[in-house]
Amino acid sequence: MPFLPLRQVSIPEAAGAACNAWLSDIADQLDNDDRDRNELCREILTGLWFPGLAGRSHDSLGPHERVALAQMDPRNVTLEPEYYAEIDVERFARVKPLIWLWEMFDKSAAGENTDLGVRFRRILARHIFRRCGANFKCFQFVKVSFGYNIEAGDDVVIHRHVLLDDRGGIIMGNKVSIADYANVYSHTHDLGDQRVVTSPVTRLGDGVRITYHATVLAGANMEADSMLGSMAVATKDVPSGKVALGIPAQPKLSKPAIEERETFPRTGDPLAG
């Protein structure tokens, strides 16, 4: 199997400078505890989506324009987790503007820019998650629930269209990789009455890989260096070094011992930061 490290990609200098300045300004504003996050979200999204309407008075707008502009302000929308009975209202109020900003950014033209998007989400994750380690890398259309119950170690990679349901909490160790369209849950409903909810913490140990379209159910513990195969559903713990396959997932393969694995030269990550 060929060794294919990521390659460096460049963009025009002027575009790169504009993106760097924009990200730096957002990071500075988020570091200011006195900055109103709802207003910050509204200003950024209005600029991204409706720059021509930013200076218009409310009375000059038509009904469709008013509704569209209202969605740029997180105070005018509700998110599904707000309906959950166990929500910490005060904590969610701090992260809601940033979750809405993340989601609406992803739907914009800027959200499809891989370099800009990864760096932008990294800034937001550090203010949303309970903990976010170095070099966090997240691609488009990732959904979180509360957000504040997520812990991510160093070098975590989350690919496109992943659901991180952190109602009970999700703890990810270093170098966890979650592939496209995967789901990680931390809550489950009673068979008789879905209003009865159990929310155990779900843990992904160091070096865990969740592959395409796989699902980790609430409370499962993927031990360090384990792997969940494509389309598999982990309903219980997966031992270290094992590859679990199927529905329900069962340990079917064993990864080579670390000392027996082929070694390759260290390479840089062009999206690290």
Q: Is the pLDDT of residue 55 over 80?
A: no
Residue 106 has a pLDDT of 98
Banded model confidence at residue 59, pLDDT cuts 50, 70, 90? confident
For the record, the structure tokens of 230 come out as: 């494509």
Cβ atoms 113, 166 nearer than 8 A: no
The mean per-residue pLDDT over the stretch 233-248 comes to: 98
For the record, the structure tokens of 151 come out as: 């812990």
Question: ∠188-189-193 over CA atoms, to 5°?
Answer: 175
More confident residue, 57 or 143: 143
The mean per-residue pLDDT over the stretch 80-92 comes to: 97
In this structure, which topology does domain 131-255 adopt according to CATH?
UDP N-Acetylglucosamine Acyltransferase; domain 1 (2.160.10)
How far apart are the C-alpha atoms of 221 and 178, rounded to whole Å? 15
Q: How many CB atoms lie within 10 A of CB 20?
A: 12
Q: Is 182 left (phi over 0), alpha (psi -120 to 50) or beta?
A: beta
How far apart are the C-alpha atoms of 183 and 161, rounded to whole Å? 9
Q: For 96-129, what is each residue's pLDDT tens digit? A: 999 999 999 999 999 999 999 999 999 999 999 9
